[in-house]
Amino acid sequence: MEKVNFIIETLNIRFDKGTLDMDNSSDMLTVTVGKSIIHEVIRFLKEDEMMGFTFLTTLCGIHFPDSPLPLGVIYHLHNLTENRRIRVKTFVPQESPHLPSITPLFAAANWMERETFDFYGIIFDGHPNLQRILNVEYLDYFPLRKEYPLEDPTREDKDDRFFGR
């Protein structure tokens, strides 16, 4: 627990203007930062000897359509020597979903950023090859955004009485 407190204090001191929230109530420490400092925070967590988060486990997109900043990215980093993990989140507006690429820091981020672009439309500035990776190139929407109704309102083959509605 004291290492988690050290991480929280260090991040608050170093990034006092850009750290939006820290939460240690779940399975791992979660830090939410502004998009302007996300690259700097990830670099610090990786390169600082006291932090030691040298392994990128996951990078994925998220979409909360009712939020002021609906699109975001979650980064999971792992300190292998201490077996400690941290979750770093940042959010961007849907009108301008740009974030800096972390491929210069983690080569493994390459395909994860491409997948996030492919499904959420988040653009990673400085990425060496940002193009669709799983969907067809001519797809004109981003399939994991929550922009469509769950059910087709024009369906006539379903009787809602059988579904408790």
Tokens of 61: 């997109």
pLDDT score of 111: 96
- The burial of 111, by beta-carbon neighbours within 10 Å (0-12 exposed, 13-18 middle, 19 or more buried), is given as middle
Least confident of 19-23, 37-41, 46-50: 19-23
CA nearest neighbour of 26 among 86, 73, 81, 75: 86
* Domain 2-163, classified CATH 3.30.460.80, yes or no: yes
**pTM of the prediction?**
0.87
Lowest-confidence region among 5-9, 39-43, 100-104, 126-130: 5-9
pLDDT tens-digit readout, 108-152: 999 999 999 999 999 999 999 999 999 999 988 899 998 877 777
